[in-house]
């Protein structure tokens, strides 16, 4: 089944403790992206990647890191999480730079930083 | 700057037709997406418009006017399962590639 797999689904952590949210897709998509979703603000893009070793900032990259060492994986790293990073996170992938076929989204990761 | 506006909430009756509007202001416009998102779930792709006009897909249709910065999603023969948020998103290509989402319109379908 074609899918984007995110882990974990739920995570509660403490301020300053490094964490990684994993994202993997099995569709051979070139383009992958991370979004956070907050009430009233919609989905905001954190980082995106157009292919292996090619990443770029979205609209809200502060406090996040990403890497794209393999085509299928695009982990999101929070080096020192803070409470304002409490949010619902989605990983998404697509072919053709997100045009035409749209994104396939992962199931989401609900992160709480206390 | 860039901005995407859509109504926060709408209510409609089962079996009726509803139109959800979206206006946008952005540079480097590529195309416009509509996504459906049920509560607690991931968004799912509904449509993508690049050219002006109406595109129909079953009960759902999407319209785009590039000159007016305007789009709408039309849902016909509403069903209870259509109760969800509908996200308008603009694909941009200006020295990088980004997709920007509106805050979403929460649609309530009542019996």
Rounded distance, CA B72 to CA A31, Å? 27
Is B20 in contact with B72 (CB distance < 8 Å)? yes
pLDDT of residue A97: 56
Structure tokens at B23: 């206006």
Instruction: Give the closest of B42, B48, B98 to A102, CB-based.
Output: B48
Given pLDDT bands bounded at 50, 70 and 90, which one contains residue A40? confident
A38 touches chain B (CB under 8 A): no
Residue A15 CA to residue A85 CA, distance in Å, equals: 10
pLDDT for B103: 93
- For A108, nearest residue in chain B (alpha carbons): B42
Residue of A nearest to B8 (CA): A40
Pairing of the two strands B70-75 and B18-25: antiparallel
**pLDDT, tens only, B80-93:** 999 999 999 998 87
Q: CA separation (Å) from A110 to A67, A68, B1, B4?
A: 21, 22, 30, 25
A55-114 pLDDT per residue, tens? 999 989 999 999 999 999 999 999 999 999 999 999 999 886 555 668 899 999 999 999
State the average pLDDT over residues B91-100. Answer: 76
A48 to chain B: closest CA residue? B98
Render pLDDT for B2-47 as a digit per residue (tens, 0 to 9).
Answer: 789 999 999 999 999 999 999 999 888 889 999 999 998 999 999 9
| DSSP assignment letter at A97 | G
Using one digit for the tens of pLDDT, what is the confidence trace for B45-58?
999 999 999 999 99
Q: Does B29 touch chain A (CB under 8 A)?
A: no
Contact B41, B56 (CB under 8 A): no
Q: Does B33 touch chain A (CB under 8 A)?
A: yes
Residue A25 host element (H or E): strand A19-25
């Amino acid at each position: 089944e074609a899918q984007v797999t995110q882990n974990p689904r739920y995570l509660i952590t403490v301020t300053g403790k490094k964490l990684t949210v994993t994202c993997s897709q099995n569709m051979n998509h070139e383009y992958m992206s991370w979004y956070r979703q907050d009430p009233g603000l919609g989905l905001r893009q954190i980082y995106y990647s157009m292919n292996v070793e090619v990443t770029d900032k979205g609209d809200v990259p502060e406090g996040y890191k990403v890497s794209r060492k393999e085509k299928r994986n695009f982990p999101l790293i929070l080096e020192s999480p803070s409470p304002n990073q409490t949010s619902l996170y989605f990983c998404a992938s697509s072919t053709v730079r997100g045009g035409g076929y749209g994104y396939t989204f992962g199931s989401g990761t609900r992160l709480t930083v206390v | 700057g860039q901005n995407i506006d859509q109504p926060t909430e709408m209510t409609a009756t089962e079996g009726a037709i509803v139109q959800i509007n979206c206006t946008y202001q952005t540079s480097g416009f590529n195309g416009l997406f509509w996504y459906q998102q049920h509560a607690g779930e991931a968004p799912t792709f509904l449509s993508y418009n690049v050219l002006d006009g109406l595109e129909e897909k079953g009960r759902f249709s999407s319209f785009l006017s590039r000159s007016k910065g305007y789009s709408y999603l039309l849902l016909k023969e509403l069903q209870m399962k259509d109760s969800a948020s509908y996200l308008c998103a603009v694909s941009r290509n200006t020295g990088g590639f980004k997709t920007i989402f509106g805050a979403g319109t929460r649609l309530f379908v009542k019996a």
